[in-house]
Structure 1
Amino acid sequence: MVLLVIGSAVALKAVIPPERGMPPSLVREESMLVDPKTELSNAKGIGVEVGTFIENFHSLSLRQRIFNAEGFYWLEWPRELQDLMVAQGITPLQLVEITNLVNASSAQIEPDTVAPVQKPADRFYQLFRYSANLYIPMVDLRRSPFEKLVLPVVLEVSPEGFSHQEANVVLVPDSNKKNSQVGSGAYINGYDIDTVRSVSSRHSYGTNWGFDQGDLDFSRLSTELVMKGDPFSSFVTWILPLMIVMLIVLLAPLLDGELGEIRLAIPSTALLTLIFLQQTYKAELPLLSYLTFLDFLYAYSYIVSVVLFVLFLWRSNAYAGSPDQHKGEALKMINRVDRVFQLSAFTGFFVVAAVAWSAW
């Protein structure tokens, strides 16, 4: 049984790949995190201040990796960029786009005013209201059911002439730290807002779109709401039922060795219950290329239940095949093996949980 615990931990390490994803030769699109101030100073960029206010989040679907969002975003830019936009016939609505739209035709993005508002210091400003169905680029459920969800609204410079290689238009977060970024309706059932952050990056699509030019990089700014569930609620909903089933399994060896049929029924019933519990849990998640933290606990529980069933078969046959004068000794041996199994399986549950948690 000790070998079972060690083997489970080693196997757990083996099935966790250090890196996932497609080979670089197949996927070249990438985003590189940058410091917008450095982008402006080193490359003589043109800064566009971007502010966001997320009024409402709803209709989250982890299986489809989508959610609905409503809110506002605003842009503020200098005269230099305004002249470039007028020269190229680009409106502020065309300057920046929301890139994680699920269906652009159904999204509503409307400017608050017909023309940009001129502000002091020869700067220009325009406010936009949006209502859109957005997708979640990255869903990290490795520590599920104690995961954190990152729900982003991704804004990116759109015109090719304003790329990093051309005019180097850089999106920078609104400098007014007093502005609220989240409204009272921005919440998802079952999750609380942990943090709100702005992430600046330079996005390369890895293609020249059929033109005889190099790859173009575009400035990107993501407003990300980091959501997390209540740990106690997640424990009671998902971990506690599993632990109760496993507690019944681990208490089964306490039954007298003569009760072979009853002993055999417990691990088989536990297996069916575990399968039902895991399928209920997986029904809320998308298809994943890796096992979650809770999946590893279920996998270990399956192993323990199957091993216990095999041991009960052996013990029943060993007891039934013993001569009457040696049945007492056979019972002592069976009880001794039972104690070793209980202690090893109980310890192994926490070892596997610790290894699975630390590995992610």
Structure 2
Amino acid sequence: MKRIVNRLRPFLTRLPDQRQKRWNVLLLIVVAISMILLGRFLGYESTDIVQSREILRLTSTPHIVNEASGVASRGKPLQGLEVKRDAALLEKAPYKVYAGVYVANNFDVDLEIPAFSSKGYLWMQWDQAFQEYLSERELSIEEVISFENDINPETTAITPLREARKLGQGMFSQGFVYTGQFYIDTLDLRRFPFNSVSLPIVLEAEDPFGDLVFENLRLIPDLRDSGLGLYSSLPGWLSRGWSIGEYRHHFSSGLGFSSEDNEFSQLIFDSSYQRSSWSAFWTLIQPLIIVMASVILITRVMTEFRIEIPVAVLLTLIFLQEGYKADLPDLSYLTFMDSVYVIAYLTSFVSFGLVLYLEALKRRAANAQDPDLRRLLLRRELFLEQIWPSLSLSILVGVSLVTWTLT
């Protein structure tokens, strides 16, 4: 009887291992099927975005372009004969208004809306022909040319500094102080937290009579006196300059008084800001590095509690991610920071599986009767423990760099 048991002992000791392998294979199959189903489910989401038919094109009037790196350009520039055709339209336009914007203070940037508040100065100069147009309709210039992107017109104020006065050569002029909350239309957070933002102030004609379309009224920017004031800086942001220009705004509607799409002259003053890289790194990236260090160095932990580290890291990642997401709007795309956290989650899951596998190797080596098998299991355990820190760190850094270049 003892001889039979001794002969069957190697076979009996292999049964638990074989059962465990079968369960592991089954688990991998279930995970693979779940990933396929998840991919098919997410693939059903339509990513086709309904594009607006409204178009902005730069005109032939002089303008200042912000050439700072990372600042998004606005509008499509004119090319070839388009410049000559627009110059001819400018020459024929019966009404021309020269306008300038001087931003004294930008503040209260809210990316969730997204919007910002601004206070500054606005001035306009126009000729006798446009003055007659205003007088015939008993309108003031600020009733005709106003902010296009103000969020709440009831709280936006354009206060005249003085009455309109007549200058030489039949020109009229008037200055204003403005304050209001404005919509940010070109917000791109794909590279958050190292993103830039442009804060636009948009002027366009309110045209209740259909007389002030692009062919009739042109808003020409004052390049000399426009600019940013001393108190226009934002905490946590670096000023990247400003731009101003006239744009041809193709309105995809006749607005009820025309059977064709209308076009209007639009003047846009953009203040551009870049988030401080140092501030973003130390407040958002540095805590993540500290948390992920425990996962990268998990094989160097020789206590029995290392199996709990990945679970603690996953919970910490959730709280860290909720912290920075609180200041962002709901987005239809992943930011760079989101991608980094996805990589961190996957690395934590892999480290959890690795720790479980190392513990299983350790138990198998302790129970192995064959010395050669025990040495093989110990070498495998030692190899994985040595290679994991450099491998996981390389994956984290490498995939993060690839993600940055693709955003």
TM, length-normalised to structure 1: 0.85
Offset, 1:128: 1.4
Tell me how far apart the structure 2 counterparts of residues 201 and 223 of structure 1 sit (CA, whole Å): 11
SS at match of 1:245: helix
Extract unaligned runs of 5+ from structure 1.
Answer: 1-14
Matched, 1:317 2:360: yes
SS at match of 1:36: coil
Contact 1:253 1:335 in 2 (8 A): no
Tell me how far apart the structure 2 counterparts of residues 42 and 348 of structure 1 sit (CA, whole Å): 58
Match of 2:307 among 243, 252, 264: 264
By relative contact order (CA 8 Å, sep 6+), the higher-ranking structure is: 1
Matched, 1:92 2:126: no
Residues 143-192 of structure 1: CA distance to partner in whole angstroms, max 9, x if unpaired? 11111111111111222311114x1x1112104x2x36222222222112
Query: 1:77 matched to which residue of 2?
Result: 126
SS at match of 2:230: strand
Matched, 1:146 2:194: yes
Matched, 1:290 2:327: no
Query: 1:352 matched to which residue of 2?
Result: 399
Offset, 1:297: 0.8
Matched, 1:102 2:151: yes
Matched, 1:201 2:247: yes
Offset, 1:208: 1.7
Query: 1:334 matched to which residue of 2?
Result: 381
Tell me how far apart the structure 2 counterparts of residues 126 and 237 of structure 1 sit (CA, whole Å): 46
Offset, 1:74: 0.6
* Residues 137-176 of structure 1: pairs in structure 2 closer than 5 A: 137-159=185-207, 160-165=210-215, 167=216, 169-175=217-223
Offset, 1:107: 1.5
Matched, 1:55 2:104: yes
Query: 1:125 matched to which residue of 2?
Result: 173
Residues 27-68 of structure 1: CA distance to partner in whole angstroms, max 9, x if unpaired? 323323333255762212343211111112222211121221
Tell me how far apart the structure 2 counterparts of residues 180 and 157 of structure 1 sit (CA, whole Å): 20
Tell me how far apart the structure 1 counterparts of residues 348 and 309 of structure 2 sit (CA, whole Å): 9
SS at match of 1:204: strand
Compare CA radii of gyration and give the structure with the larger one. Answer: 2
Query: 1:5 matched to which residue of 2?
Result: none
Tell me how far apart the structure 2 counterparts of residues 21 and 100 of structure 1 sit (CA, whole Å): 26
Tell me how far apart the structure 1 counterparts of residues 129 and 297 of structure 2 sit (CA, whole Å): 76
Offset, 1:285: 1.0
Tell me how far apart the structure 2 counterparts of residues 316 and 335 of structure 1 sit (CA, whole Å): 12
Tell me how far apart the structure 1 counterparts of residues 385 and 313 of structure 2 sit (CA, whole Å): 18
Query: 1:23 matched to which residue of 2?
Result: 50
Query: 1:11 matched to which residue of 2?
Result: none
Tell me how far apart the structure 2 counterparts of residues 131 and 58 of structure 1 sit (CA, whole Å): 11
- Residues 87 and 41 of structure 1, relative CA distance in 2, 3 Å threshold: farther
Query: 1:7 matched to which residue of 2?
Result: none
Contact 2:358 2:381 in 1 (8 A): yes
Match of 2:297 among 246, 251, 268: 251
SS at match of 1:186: coil
Moved more, 311-320 or 94-103: 311-320
Contact 2:236 2:279 in 1 (8 A): no
SS at match of 1:161: coil
SS at match of 2:229: strand
Tell me how far apart the structure 1 counterparts of residues 395 and 220 of structure 2 sit (CA, whole Å): 50
Offset, 1:280: 0.5
Tell me how far apart the structure 2 counterparts of residues 201 and 338 of structure 1 sit (CA, whole Å): 61
Residues 63-85 of structure 1: CA distance to partner in whole angstroms, max 9, x if unpaired? 12122111111111222322333
Tell me how far apart the structure 2 counterparts of residues 286 and 120 of structure 1 sit (CA, whole Å): 51
Residues 293-318 of structure 1: CA distance to partner in whole angstroms, max 9, x if unpaired? 11111110100000110121122123
Offset, 1:289: 1.0
Tell me how far apart the structure 2 counterparts of residues 33 and 208 of structure 1 sit (CA, whole Å): 21
Tell me how far apart the structure 1 counterparts of residues 285 and 205 of structure 2 sit (CA, whole Å): 44
- Aligned-residue CA RMSD (Å): 2.1
Extract unaligned runs of 5+ from structure 2.
Answer: 1-41, 63-82
- Residues 238 and 21 of structure 1, relative CA distance in 2, 3 Å threshold: farther
- Residues 335 and 182 of structure 1, relative CA distance in 2, 3 Å threshold: same
- Residues 306 and 180 of structure 1, relative CA distance in 2, 3 Å threshold: same
SS at match of 1:151: strand
Offset, 1:335: 2.2
Tell me how far apart the structure 2 counterparts of residues 77 and 348 of structure 1 sit (CA, whole Å): 62
Query: 2:286 matched to which residue of 1?
Result: 240
Offset, 1:262: 1.9
Q: Would you say how many aligned residue pairs link Structure 1 and Structure 2? A: 332
